[in-house]
Amino acid sequence: MASAVDSTNSTNSTNSANSATPGAAEAPLTLDEAPPRALGVLDQGALWANLGVSLLGFSGAIALINPLGDRPLSFVAAIVAAVVGSLVGTAMVGLAAIPGQRTGAPAMVLLRGLFGARLSYLPTVLNIVQMVGWGAFELWVIAQGAQAIAGSFGFEVPYPVWVVVAGVITTALTIRPLGAVRLLRRYVTVAVVISMIWFLVALFQRAPAIGGGSWEAFAPAVDYVIALSISWVPVAADFARFSRSGRASFAGVVGGYTIAQVACLVLGIAALALVGNNSDRIWEPFVAAALGPLFLGVLVLRETDQSFVNVYSTATSLQNLLPRLDRRIISVVVGVLVTLLAIFVEADRYTSFLGIIGAVFVPMFAVLVVDYFLLGGAARWDTSATAPSRGVMVVPWVLGFAAWWMLTALPAAPELAWWTSFWNGARELAGFTRQPWMSASVGAFLVAALVTLALGALRRRPGQAGT
């Protein structure tokens, strides 16, 4: 029997999903059930605004203002990079949400229509790896923030204790994910807005004049911010499938996330200016501000929405492989795994981790958008468990992935020095010299999109077989 996701374009399943009582509707437990259309634009906007305010964004602002390590941006250049990168990245995420809303399919199930059912397992596994990594990073930063707050009152609580507490809260939220989204809209968002405004005023009153720097590393900085946003592309459909309209899901992503992420990065720049660009001391200005521990506590508690989304999306991704397994069971298992990993995670891998995410998912997004919106994919999108393989669509994805690494200025992690050396050798072999203005994100997107368009043109030739 085909799953309900396989027939979400049918009138009956759509009407059934829409008839659910919005306040009581909850995410289905397996892929055999149709998703309720329970989230409006305010729900989506609140969810994405809260996701845009990340404690990792505060400490990660160092990668925005100095992405190459030796050529810092000027303050104006950093702000422009934050705005441009956020708009480009969130537009990608917003567009990736629309097919999920239309089909009712989770993100990785949606990829059955792009690659076929079996080939969709490859990006599914990659997404599971990145979601687990993100979840561990989030629990790490929650524990760091909680330690800073407790330390300001003279309490010393071991780091693993905070990780376990955050892991338990995270896992509990995944049991009723739509209820968690409604909780964010009704209560958490207001407290977060007040906290952000409070810190913006408090930190900029104390921050020294931010001068110097240049625009030389502008493109890598934009790539970094795009990577912050684009990491949510594989998550977008997991929540857009519950949206009442494609417009609501798109507006919620672009509006809520962009404003919140830019504000978060600006706060991070101000905090770093106060501690001499030492990211290890990033929390000191926050706890030193008047009522700082209180408002930082709000942001730390709110950070569990990030880890909640990571764990929930890991569970829905696994359902592409195991469609009839109860997502609550998967969520508990993943929550335990992420908690254990967070105790041992090394935060200095964060920037390299984002680079890998961008290299994988920017070109994949380009292939999806071109095929779905420009090549008539919306009319034939097959999310069934028997969707035929479309191996040809892997070609533009792989070429876009290669273009990212040919163009990027961001290094791989130290233990992957051989990977950086490989691409340096590829550049030399091709006689290609990367220029400072080049953007890996834009380049990878264009290569993947143009190759996908070319393949579409070949398919439309008389006598050519469809794929």
- 432 burial (CB, 10 Å; 0-12 / 13-18 / 19+) is exposed
- 273 in any annotated domain: yes
311, 172 Cβ separation under 8 angstroms: no
Structural domain contains residue 221 = yes
DSSP alpha helices (H): ranges in 207-280? 218-230, 233-240, 246-251, 258-274
**Cα distance between residue 293 and residue 325, in whole Å:** 42
Identify which of 289, 241, 274, 256 has the alpha carbon closest to the alpha carbon of residue 102: 241
Q: How many CB atoms lie within 10 A of CB 90?
A: 28
The whole-number pLDDT of residue 465 equals: 46
Token pair recorded at residue 258: 């962009």
d(CA 357, CA 228): 9
> Considering its fold, how many domains does the chain have in total?
1
Residues whose CB is less than 8 angstroms from the CB of residue 303 and which lie 6 or more positions away in sequence, other chains included: 54, 55, 138, 141, 142, 145, 166
Lookup result for tokens 């990340």: 54
Written as six digits, the tokens of 73 are 């941006």
- 275's tokens: 């501690």
Q: Is residue 395 part of a domain?
A: no
Question: b/e per residue, 330-366, with b = 16+ CB within 10 A?
Answer: bbbbbbebbbbbbeebebebbbbbbbbbbbbbbbbbb
In a domain, 418, yes or no: no
Secondary structure in 3-state letters for 332-388: HHHHHHHHHHHHHCCHHHHHHHHHHHHHHHHHHHHHHHHHHHHCCHHHHCCCCCCCC
Q: State how far the Cα of 322 lies from the Cα of 71, in Å rounded to an integer.
A: 47
Instruction: Give the CA count within 13 Å in the CB-facing half-sphere of 374.
Output: 16
Whether residue 411 is contained in a domain is answered as no
Backbone angles phi, psi at 73, to 5 degrees: -80, 155
Count of alpha carbons within 13 angstroms of residue 62, beta-carbon side: 20
What CATH number did the domain enclosing 318 receive? 1.10.4160.10
Amino acid 463: pLDDT: 52
State residue 344 phi and psi, 5-degree precision. Answer: -115, 5
**Contact by Cβ (8 Å): 322, 302:** no
Assigned domain for 3 exists: no
Range of the domain at 120: 34-348
CA atoms within 13 A on the CB side of 412: 15
Beta partners for 73? 214
Give the model's pLDDT for residue 102.
93
CB 100 within 8 Å of CB 9? no
**H or E stretch at 417:** helix 417-430
Task: Give the three-state DSSP class for 10.
Answer: coil
Coil, strand or helix: which one is 411? coil
pLDDT string in tens for the chain (467-residue length):
344 444 444 333 443 444 444 556 888 999 888 899 988 898 999 999 999 988 877 877 888 888 877 788 888 888 999 999 999 889 989 999 999 999 999 999 999 999 999 999 999 998 898 888 889 888 988 998 898 889 888 888 999 999 999 999 999 999 999 999 988 888 899 999 999 999 999 998 887 766 677 888 888 888 888 878 887 888 899 999 999 998 889 999 999 999 999 999 999 988 888 888 787 788 889 988 999 999 999 999 989 999 999 999 999 999 999 998 999 999 999 999 999 999 987 665 555 665 677 788 889 989 999 999 999 998 999 999 999 999 999 999 999 999 999 988 766 666 667 888 898 899 999 999 888 777 788 889 899 999 999 999 887 765 554 44
pLDDT score for 348: 58
Alpha-carbon gap, residue 80 to 266, rounded angstroms: 11
Amino acid 18: pLDDT: 43
Question: How far is it, in rounded angstroms, from Cα 291 to Cα 465?
Answer: 66
Q: Which residues sit opposite 243 in a β-bridge?
A: 39
Element (H, E) at 256: none
Per-residue confidence (pLDDT) for residue 55, from 0 to 100: 81
Would residue 319 count as lying in a domain?
A: yes
**Any residues with CB less than 8 A from the CB of 389 and at least 6 apart, and which?**
115, 116, 117, 118, 119
CA angle at 372 for the pair 232 and 5, rounded to the nearest 5°: 70
pLDDT for 210 equals 67
Distance CA 86, CA 49 (A): 12
CA 140 to each of CA 67, 188, 322: distance values in angstroms, whole numbers, following the listed order: 22, 21, 29
Residue 430 lies in a domain: no
Within 10 angstroms of residue 92's Cβ, the number of other Cβ atoms is: 26
